[in-house]
Amino acid sequence: MLYTLHEAAYHAATPLRFGALSLKTLWSSPANPWSDTALARNIVAMSDVFESVTRRYGKPEWGLDQVEISGVDVPVSIETVWSSPWCNLIRFRRDGSALKKAGRPADAPKVLIVAPLSGHYATLLRGTVEAWLQDFDVYITDWVNARNVPLMEGRFGFHDYIDHVRTMLEALGERAHVVAVCQPGPPVLAACALMAEDAHPQRPLSMTYMGSPIDARLSPTLTNELAEQKPFAWFRSNMIYTVPLPYAGVGRRVYPGFVQLYSFMSMNEARHREAHWAYFNDLVAGDGDSAARHEAFYDEYLSVLDLTEEFYLQTVDIVFQKHLLAKGELWHRGRRVDLSAITDIALMTVEGENDDISGVGQTQAAHGLCPNIPEAMRVLHVQAEVGHYGVFNGRRFREEIYPLARDFMNRAHGAGESGTDAERPSPRAAA
């Protein structure tokens, strides 16, 4: 019922939204003799703010048509190399001739970035992709909005996620590097363990976990405490709703993206309120640059997707309530996930000092859970003065975190190609 009411509210606001746009056009028109008055600027700004908070935000564009490498603008084309009803594996193909001009080899190591399936689109990692494009052949998981998947396609749960990660690593055709950003940490680690136990030829050379709840019992945040305090039945009763018409997935039970969005915004309600007030004032003052930055952020932040009922509830149960992977009690398709089976996959963990989603300790727990990875193949990094988002985006990510990850992967790649321990990553820890 809530989903239907949400859709009804959106459509009910449509005439008001068009009215606001008409008002903006009237009061900003050069033909209006009062367009340059304080009254007009306030009306135009008010109309802009109203339109932005009532708009339907679709999936953002990647906007990565080119990337600058060593002073050369390298064209980038986006192609889908593998797909299922639930995910598209996207490759960012760099132009070979431009790479040659930049003095870079066309045949770079492959990196699979596993984007979170937690309410936002993979485009949230645009800055993450752009960084790795400097030195690697980049692929990313582009998860599909569950409300657009017809019921006939079946269900998609936590264990299907593990299977997808494994299948996509296989699709790369060689030993690559895998990066899990936030939510994917546990299922990616499970997939790596299963591939390691099988001595799979496409098991990754390295795995990097960034702000991931590998063991959510450590340094619990408000999100973790909510998952612990509420019984499992509460999540099923209060967080799951049915997709209405006209979506292709009508009848599918989902955890709606707008519920996730409202939950996150309520955690920092004052900050969002202040941001919109500042946006209004920037519009009135004619500060286009500040207004554009606000719009760019919220265009991405307010674009959300739905999760299937089974994936959301199984993640709450497995990761945040029972902590099965951290306890060594996770079973997948009749097999116990044995993290001790990982012996030749290099491990890097990255945490943010001020992360309020995955507290410090939750991600680095992977080191203790994977006891048979040699010390020379580990990197543990805690980035000072960044929160959750800063772990994989922003200035400190570009200038401090990514160079560490790049060097870590290059050493792991060299060790994997040589088949010896001589070039394996040296131990490094930062706090």
pLDDT at 429: 44
Tell me how far CA of residue 231 lies from CA of 120, 244, 257, 261, 313, in angstroms: 25, 27, 21, 21, 11
pLDDT band at 419, cuts 50/70/90? low
pTM equals 0.93
Task: Provide the percentage of residues in the chain whose pLDDT is more than 90.
Answer: 90
In a domain, 235, yes or no: no
Domain boundary among 305, 337, 366: 305
- Give residue 417's pLDDT: 66
Query: Which range marks the domain in which residue 326 is found?
Result: 66-230+310-430
Q: Are residues 417 and 350 in the same domain?
A: yes
Whether residue 22 is contained in a domain is answered as: no
In a domain, 387, yes or no: yes
Of 248, 270, 305, which residue is a domain's last? 305
Q: What integer is the mean pLDDT of 235-248?
A: 95
Task: Note whether 142 and 280 are same-domain residues.
Answer: no
If asked whether residues 347 and 280 sit together in one domain, one would say: no
Q: Let me know whether 209 and 337 are in one domain.
A: yes
What pLDDT, on the 0 to 100 scale, is given for residue 382? 98
- 428: pLDDT strictly greater than 50: no
Q: Burial, 386: exposed, middle or buried (Cβ in 10 Å; 0-12, 13-18, 19+)?
A: buried
Work out how many domains the chain is built from and give that number: 2
Does pLDDT of 387 surpass 50? yes
Is 379 inside a domain boundary?
yes
Q: CA-based angle 424:426:431, to the nearest 5? A: 140
Give the CATH number, domain containing residue 168: 3.40.50.1820
124/214 same-domain check: yes
**pLDDT confidence band for 43 (50 / 70 / 90):** very high
pLDDT of amino acid 425: 41
Residues 174 and 283 in one domain: no
Both 215 and 105 in one domain: the answer is: yes
> So what's the pLDDT on residue 404?
98
pLDDT in tens, 353-384: 999 999 999 999 999 999 999 999 999 999 99
Residues 301 and 322 in one domain: no
* Confidence band, pLDDT 50/70/90 cuts, at residue 431: very low
Task: Tell me: do 314 and 299 sit in the same domain.
Answer: no
- Residue 33 is assigned to a structural domain of this protein: no
> Of all residues in the chain, what percent carry a pLDDT higher than 70?
96
Half-sphere exposure of 111 (CA within 13 A, CB side): 27
Same domain, 264 and 393: no
Task: Label residue 325 by pLDDT band (50, 70, 90).
Answer: very high
User: Is residue 278 included in any domain, yes or no?
Assistant: yes
**Structure confidence by residue, pLDDT tens digits, 142-169:** 999 999 999 999 999 999 999 999 999 9
Average pLDDT over residues 201-228: 95
Any domain includes 320: yes
Question: Does residue 345 fall inside a structural domain?
Answer: yes
The model's confidence at residue 418, banded by pLDDT at 50, 70 and 90, is low
Does 218 lie in the same domain as 301? no
**pLDDT tens-digit map of 258-299:** 998 888 788 788 999 999 999 999 999 999 999 999 999 999
pLDDT tens for 98-148 read 999 999 998 999 999 999 999 999 999 999 999 999 999 999 999 999 999
Domain boundary, last residue among 285, 305, 325: 305
Q: Which residue has the tokens 């979170």?
A: 116
Q: Say if residue 192 is in the same domain as residue 273.
A: no
